């Protein structure tokens, strides 16, 4: 089934894209959530202008995020936590604490941008990936 996206949908497409999806996905998710509509000539014309505006905004945001990714490359977040003699933390260090520490250093990092496979539970140095855009993760 062909659907015209009225907003950006992760792993599917951007605003104004006409995508081919399964009928169940369209009927049960995209259409009820207001993420897509059935494409008509009038819909395509109306969204073409908005798509151009969004593309320009996405381009400037992407450039800003690329600069942030380069600045954050190799950044270190030192977080103090209580641990036992074996080096196991009494709690854990999560993405929120890492994001808070990086924000204190002047980086504009949201908690959702910190990619941790699981919370850190052991003392030591750990590499963490920061997701800035679809194509530019930064490790540090």
Thinking of the domain 2-70, which architecture would CATH place it in?
3-Layer(aba) Sandwich (3.40)
pTM of the model: 0.58
| Candidates 3.90.180.10, 3.40.640.10, 3.30.9.10, 3.10.430.100; CATH matching 75-139 | 3.10.430.100
- Contacts of 68 by beta carbon, 8 Å cutoff, 6+ apart: 107, 108, 132
pLDDT in the model for residue 133: 66
pLDDT in the model for residue 136: 44
Contact (CB, 8 A) for 16 and 47: yes
List, for residues 42-94, the tens digit of each pLDDT value.
888 887 787 788 788 888 888 888 888 888 888 888 999 999 999 999 999 99
All structural domains of the chain with their residue ranges: 2-70, 75-139
Q: Quick check: helix, strand or coil at residue 23?
A: helix
């Amino acid at each position: 089934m062909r659907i015209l996206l009225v907003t950006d949908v992760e792993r599917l497409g951007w605003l104004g894209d006409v995508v081919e999806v399964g009928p169940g996905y369209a009927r049960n998710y995209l259409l009820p959530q207001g993420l897509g509509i059935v494409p008509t000539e009038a819909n395509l014309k109306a969204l073409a202008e908005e798509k151009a505006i969004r593309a320009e905004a996405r381009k400037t945001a992407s450039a800003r995020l690329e600069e942030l990714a380069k600045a954050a490359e190799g950044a270190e977040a030192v977080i103090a936590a209580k641990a036992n003699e074996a080096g196991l933390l009494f709690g854990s260090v999560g993405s929120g604490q890492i994001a808070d520490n990086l924000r204190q250093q002047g980086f504009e990092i949201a908690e959702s941008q910190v990619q941790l496979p699981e919370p850190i539970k052991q003392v030591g140095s750990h590499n963490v990936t920061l997701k800035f855009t679809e194509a530019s993760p930064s490790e540090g």
